């Protein structure tokens, strides 16, 4: 845990003072799924706490582990594990191509390109594309399917390297990665150098508005250093002459926002920008007090989930977890839920199986261990994939199994 004063920081967007709103206590690396003996040796923790900037309102972590601890050759998350997300990225790519790609032989650059799920759609259409992905194992998965990938963290120097080797980009894309990068200024500077004059930036991230509304605090973990809103994104990009030209709400990852930016004056600003900004004002998204209240709601949610799991245990019920998500690391460590309350977590990602959950040591097992015989209850840690999961786990429910949901409220379904 950090020893320095952990109650405030200099806002990573505007440089003004950001004050702590809530702490989720000591947390491990969210994706550090390790064999039990190794997990016991590696007891790294940092304090997961959010602060809100008094000037630009950006919600951000006070402390974040160094990037090489999180992104490396054993990174555990592969985009392609969800069919619904694979479809989502096909649609995202198609929307970029139809709505925003201009000029002859355009180049599309995606950062955080992971296993190449999104870029595969450009490859299939013969559009020039390039990925930037620092986690070598997932980058290799992309290269294995023929997607050119620079194995590196994106920042201004990487952008210059791309320009010198490939020329300027017509589209700069990112999904669930901009919110991972604390040195946002270097990223925006890199985009400024990389993007053609009439190029477009389109990126998606979990949306602060949804997190605040649903109380979905599991979007906060080591990797997610920012919880963006239209307000914070427009501030961060204005410094380099970009403006928000559109914003489109997405149902993915429990509620996301797609931000579309271009150089000032290059494109028409859509009415959605002003409408969503007004909604953010009404929601008081940039107020410190809103996030202190959010913290109090998280405490209540934690008590309810613990009560429910303890009751079920007292009744002798079998409870397992479904999907060993990064998000579940925050829930499990914040609520202090271990193998005494959740027997194991079923997950389809081979690299997670046979390992234990970070900090709480719950075994992760393949889907084949999830019955029959089915457990009595399954905690839906992959709640953002509810539709996809419910559609394929009808036998569990038919056998009398029940799901445990925790957002917006802790509840048992059906
Ligand atoms: O932002 C991030 C998002 C894009 O992905 C990263 N920082 C890390 C990661 O977050 P996550 O781990 O919370 O993402 P998901 O998509 O909620 O993780 C899904 C997990 O659930 C994977 O481990 C695969 C598993 N899963 C499963 O076991 N059965 C998923 C589905 C759909 C299933 O049916
Ligand atoms: N875009 C994919 C993957 C998101 S997970 C999706 O939405 O499913 C976040 C990814 O960003 C990881 O693969 C991680 O290795 C990568 N990443 C982290 N920091 C990065 C940086 N500075 N530049 C580029 N990619 C980064
Ligand atoms: Zn700020």
| H/E stretch holding 47 | strand 46-53
- pLDDT-derived band of residue 20, with 50, 70 and 90 as boundaries? very high
Non-local CB neighbours of 323 within 8 Å, separated by 6+ positions:
345, 346, 347, 380, 381, 382, 385, 389
Pocket test residue of 32, 87, 161, 177 for ligand 2, highest count of atoms within 8 A of CB: 177
- Per-residue pLDDT reduced to its tens digit, 230-286: 999 999 999 999 999 999 999 999 999 999 999 999 999 999 999 999 999 999 999
Q: Is the CB of 226 under 6 A from ligand 2?
A: no
Mean pLDDT of all residues in 379-405:
98
Smallest CA-to-CA distance from 270 within 94, 111, 118, 100 is with 100
Residue 344 Cα distances to 77, 141, 184, 303, angstroms: 19, 28, 37, 21
Q: Is the CB of 224 under 6 A from ligand 2?
A: no
- Per-residue pLDDT reduced to its tens digit, 218-241: 999 999 999 999 999 999 999 999
pLDDT value for 402: 98
Supply 151's token pair. 């194995």
What average pLDDT does the chain have? 97
Identify the nearest ligand to the CA of 219 by its number: 1
Backbone angles phi, psi at 379, to 5 degrees: -80, 125
Supply 209's token pair. 């508005």
Q: Is the CB of 385 under 6 A from ligand 1?
A: yes
Per-residue DSSP letter, 34 = B
Cβ count near 331 (within 10 Å): 23
- CA 189/CA 258 separation, integer angstroms: 20
Supply 104's token pair. 């002859």
Q: Are strands 226-227 and 59-61 parallel, antiparallel or unpaired?
A: antiparallel
Mean pLDDT of all residues in 131-157:
98
Would the pLDDT of 3 be above 50? no
- pLDDT-derived band of residue 76, with 50, 70 and 90 as boundaries? very high
Would the pLDDT of 2 be above 80? no
- Per-residue pLDDT reduced to its tens digit, 147-197: 999 999 999 999 999 999 999 999 999 999 999 999 999 999 999 999 999
- pLDDT-derived band of residue 294, with 50, 70 and 90 as boundaries? very high
- pLDDT-derived band of residue 5, with 50, 70 and 90 as boundaries? confident
Would the pLDDT of 356 be above 70? yes
pTM over 0.95: yes
Smallest CA-to-CA distance from 166 within 108, 93, 244 is with 108
């Amino acid at each position: 845990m950090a020893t320095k004063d952990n109650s405030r920081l200099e806002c990573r967007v505007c440089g003004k003072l950001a004050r702590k709103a809530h702490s989720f206590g000591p947390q491990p690396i969210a994706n550090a799924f390790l064999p039990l003996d190794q997990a016991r040796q590696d007891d790294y923790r940092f304090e997961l706490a959010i602060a809100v900037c008094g000037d630009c309102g950006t919600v951000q972590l006070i402390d974040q582990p160094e990037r090489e601890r999180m992104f490396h050759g054993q990174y555990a998350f592969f985009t392609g594990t969800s069919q619904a997300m694979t479809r989502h990225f096909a649609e995202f790519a198609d929307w970029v191509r139809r709505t925003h790609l201009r000029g002859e032989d355009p180049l599309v650059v995606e950062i955080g390109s992971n296993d190449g799920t999104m870029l595969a759609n450009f490859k299939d259409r013969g559009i020039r594309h390039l990925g930037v992905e620092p986690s070598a194992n997932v980058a290799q998965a992309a290269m294995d399917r023929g997607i050119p990938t620079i194995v590196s963290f994106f920042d201004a120097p990487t952008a210059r390297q791309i320009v010198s080797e490939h020329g300027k980009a017509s589209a700069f894309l990112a999904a669930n990665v901009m919110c991972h990068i604390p040195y946002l200024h270097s990223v925006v500077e890199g985009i400024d150098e990389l993007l053609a004059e009439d190029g477009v930036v389109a990126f998606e991230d979990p949306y602060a508005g949804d997190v605040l509304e649903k109380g979905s605090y599991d979007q906060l973990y080591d990797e997610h250093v920012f919880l963006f809103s239209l307000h914070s994104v427009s501030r961060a990009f204005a410094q380099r002459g970009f403006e928000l030209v559109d914003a489109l709400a997405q149902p993915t990852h429990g509620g996301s926002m797609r931000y579309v930016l271009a150089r000032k004056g290059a494109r028409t600003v859509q009415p959605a920008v002003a409408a969503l900004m007004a909604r953010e004002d009404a929601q008081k998204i940039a107020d410190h007090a809103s996030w202190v209240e959010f913290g109090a709601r998280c405490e209540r949610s934690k008590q309810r989930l613990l009560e429910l799991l303890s009751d079920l245990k007292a009744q002798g019920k079998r409870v397992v977890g479904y999907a060993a998500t990064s998000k579940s690391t925050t829930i499990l460590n914040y609520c202090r839920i271990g193998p005494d309350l959740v027997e194991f977590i079923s997950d389809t990602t081979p690299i997670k199986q046979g390992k234990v959950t970070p900090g709480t040591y719950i075994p992760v097992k393949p889907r084949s261990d999830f019955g029959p015989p089915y457990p009595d209850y399954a905690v839906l840690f992959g709640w953002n994939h509810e539709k996809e999961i419910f559609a394929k786990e009808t036998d569990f429910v038919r056998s009398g199994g029940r799901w445990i949901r925790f957002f917006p409220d802790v509840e048992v379904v059906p």
